[in-house]
Amino acid sequence: MLAVIPWLGIDIAEHRLAWEKDVREEMINVVQSVYDLSREQKAHILDNILERNSTLNMLIYLKSLLVLALLIGGVWLLIKYKRATGKIAKPLALTFVLMVLFTGAKFVWALTLDPQNKKIKFVDIDESEADLNKIIVDNFKGKVVYVDFWGTTCGPCMAEFRDFTKPLKDKYRQSGKVGYLYISQGNKYLWKKQVDKYDVEGTHIFVSDEKYARLFQDAVHDTSRRILMLTYVIVNAAGKIVDTDAKRPSDSKALFAQLDRHLR
């Protein structure tokens, strides 16, 4: 019983992080009119926020109650065992071992997550050799590529995934001439889970902070430029970087114009 508590604790922490990104920050974005949205679009987003708020709070409360029940039950059983045998070292040691095993299994599961959507592709690269040009050539030969630099705890990044990325994919799905490369840094445990959660179709690469900085500077052709999340780059079909400051998916009209210019 006690060994399951860390597993649930990780879940609760994830739900709390999701609430911060999907509810609190998204509500702030809508109220402050961060995006140029119509009344209907705002209403749709707010409906989604309220639904996520209800779901996440329910999960947090239920799992917190379960943790409390397991803690009380586990401690009660340990006390009962000690009274019956006069010993407690062995069950405590076993509990600790099980905690480590369960927690390790959860991390391994997250790192080896295989998304159901086969249009989501996770790619491992050799950081000592790979550069942006090589990544493009190896994965997107002959396509216009929309490159997204993002972070696993970046709220605005999640908002773009959640509300604006699917319409972008739908726009160019039939032509098959646009590829999507997502370069991420941050928490590797959260990486695949965020991609799977928001169903972000495309090719995904996770790199160290140092490699992220080098790929970013290569992409924008500026070694002095400040490294920012929510940076987008467009690479033409010949593999040349043609827009170092591409528009966000939320700025759909301007982004479509940029992409269409290179698809002619």
pLDDT tens digit sequence for 99-118: 999 888 888 887 777 777 88
Does one domain contain both 253 and 143?
yes
Q: Count other Cβ atoms within 10 Å, centred on residue 20.
A: 15
Q: Are residues 80 and 153 in the same domain?
A: no
Of the pLDDT bands very low, low, confident and very high (cuts 50, 70, 90), residue 176 is confident
Q: Position of tokens 């994830």?
A: 14
**Do 130 and 70 share a structural domain?**
no
Q: What's the structural domain count of the chain?
A: 2
Tokens of 157: 């990044």
Residues 133 and 213 in one domain: yes
139 in the same domain as 87: no
Do 84 and 152 have their domain in common? no
Q: Is the pLDDT of residue 171 over 90?
A: yes
CA distances from 135 to 123, 126, 213 (A): 10, 10, 15
Residues 131 and 252 in one domain: yes
Question: What is the spatial distance between Cα 177 and Cα 173, in angstroms, rounded to a whole number?
Answer: 8
Same domain, 142 and 259: yes
85/124 same-domain check: no
State which residues form the domain around 106: 2-111
**Are 238 and 175 contained in the same domain?**
yes
Q: Provide the 3-class DSSP secondary structure of residue 86.
A: coil
Write out pLDDT tens, residues 115-149.
778 899 999 888 887 788 889 988 998 899 999 99
Domain shared by 107 and 125, yes or no = no
Model confidence pTM above 0.85? no
Q: What is the mean pLDDT of residues 85-97?
A: 89
Token digits for 256?
């479509």
- 129 and 88 within one domain: no
Q: Retrieve residue 121's tokens.
A: 């592709």
